């Protein structure tokens, strides 16, 4: 069974007239009649009843035509989709995100709602961005050499303590008074850990770090379990802190971190990348205004 047989049968069934169908198909009437007979031989039934010079689609023909119409429609849809795909420009945004990974689902969902054909390549939490890494944008808390960047957020770092800890009764704390406390920390591969280590540069002791983890959720769980205290970003970790943890402002030193959006120096943005740039800026404006 061939495609042309089905196409010719479909048109002949539409007209129930071999002469008219042959004329529309630009083939001879005998050639069309032969093709229809070959199709009927293959199926083992007649599709038309012959009434003198006229043909009429019979019950077999009507049943078969229904399926042929469905098949032809599906094929036409496939051809249309392939042609559209050929001319459709699919863009990929490569995003390196070292901080704020909990925002990723929202970033991808909201932006793809506006631009459904955009694809993302995502890289999260490598130890540190490496020279030559391929990305369009990076969200980090550290400046990247040879990149252009813009500040997305200035974020206070708070001290997270178990709700039952004696420190939870205080309104503020100073790092110099925490020499005998047990600290829970991220590993040194994490940018937040490198930031918080700098807070102790002028403090006359090294923090007693009793647990390290590369997973922020584990750090929060250990605080909840009463095993120590830790640093908590006030905005980006806001939604993931439970009532079991009390957040205390640090009076001294000033404990802050800066979140940057970076991109390779000299990069020429596509229209979609410009839209993504504006989208990220507005997203963080909203985050800053609402405190997440």
Asked if the model's pLDDT at residue 13 lies above 90, the reply is no
Report the top-level CATH class of 91-292: alpha beta
Cα 122 to Cα 93, 103, 116, 181, 200: the distances in Å are 8, 12, 17, 37, 33
User: Of 164, 137, 155, 167, which Cα lies nearest the Cα of 191?
Assistant: 155
Provide CB contacts within 8 A for 67, sequence distance 6+: none
Structure-token pair, residue 67: 């399926």
Summarize the confidence of residues 143-170 as an average pLDDT: 92
Structure-token pair, residue 83: 């042609």
Q: Which of 73-77, 95-99, 136-140, 271-275 has the lowest mean pLDDT?
A: 73-77
Cα 141 to Cα 57, 77, 204: the distances in Å are 74, 48, 26
Q: CATH topology for 3-87?
A: Arc Repressor Mutant, subunit A (1.10.10)
Span 97-106, pLDDT tens digits = 888 888 888 8
CA-to-CA distance for 250 and 52, rounded, in angstroms? 100
Domain boundaries, the chain: 3-87, 91-292
Summarize the confidence of residues 19-30 as an average pLDDT: 86
Q: How confident is the model at residue 250 (pLDDT cuts 50, 70, 90)?
A: very high
Q: What pLDDT score does 53 carry?
A: 67
Asked if the model's pLDDT at residue 242 lies above 90, the reply is no
Q: What pLDDT score does 170 carry?
A: 94
Asked if the model's pLDDT at residue 196 lies above 60, the reply is yes
Asked if the model's pLDDT at residue 4 lies above 70, the reply is yes
């Amino acid at each position: 069974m061939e495609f042309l047989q089905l196409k010719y049968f479909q048109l002949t069934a539409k007209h129930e007239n071999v002469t008219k169908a042959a004329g529309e198909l630009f083939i001879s009437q005998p050639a069309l009649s032969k093709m229809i007979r070959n199709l009927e031989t293959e199926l083992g039934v007649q599709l038309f009843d012959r009434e003198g010079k006229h043909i009429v689609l019979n019950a077999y023909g009507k049943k078969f035509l229904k399926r042929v119409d469905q098949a032809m429609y599906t094929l036409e849809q496939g051809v249309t989709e392939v042609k559209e795909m050929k001319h459709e420009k699919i863009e990929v945004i490569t995003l390196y995100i070292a901080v704020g990974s909990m925002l990723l689902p929202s970033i991808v969902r909201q932006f793809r709602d506006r631009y459904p054909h955009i694809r993302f390549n995502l890289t999260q939490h490598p130890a540190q961005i490496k020279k030559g890494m391929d990305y369009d944008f990076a969200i980090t808390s550290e400046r990247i050499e040879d990149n252009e960047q813009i500040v997305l957020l200035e974020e206070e770092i708070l001290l997270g303590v178990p709700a039952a800890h004696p420190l939870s009764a205080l309104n503020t704390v100073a790092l110099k008074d925490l020499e005998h406390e047990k600290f829970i920390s991220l590993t040194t591969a994490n940018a937040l850990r490198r930031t918080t280590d700098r807070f102790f540069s002028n403090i006359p002791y090294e923090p007693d770090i009793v647990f390290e983890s590369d997973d922020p959720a584990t750090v929060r769980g250990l605080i909840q379990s009463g095993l120590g205290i830790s640093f908590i970003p006030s905005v980006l970790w806001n939604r993931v802190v439970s009532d079991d943890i009390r957040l205390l402002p640090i009076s001294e030193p000033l404990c802050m971190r800066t979140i940057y959006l970076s991109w390779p120096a000299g990069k020429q943005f596509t229209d979609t990348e410009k839209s993504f740039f504006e989208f990220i800026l507005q997203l963080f404006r909203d985050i800053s205004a609402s405190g997440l």
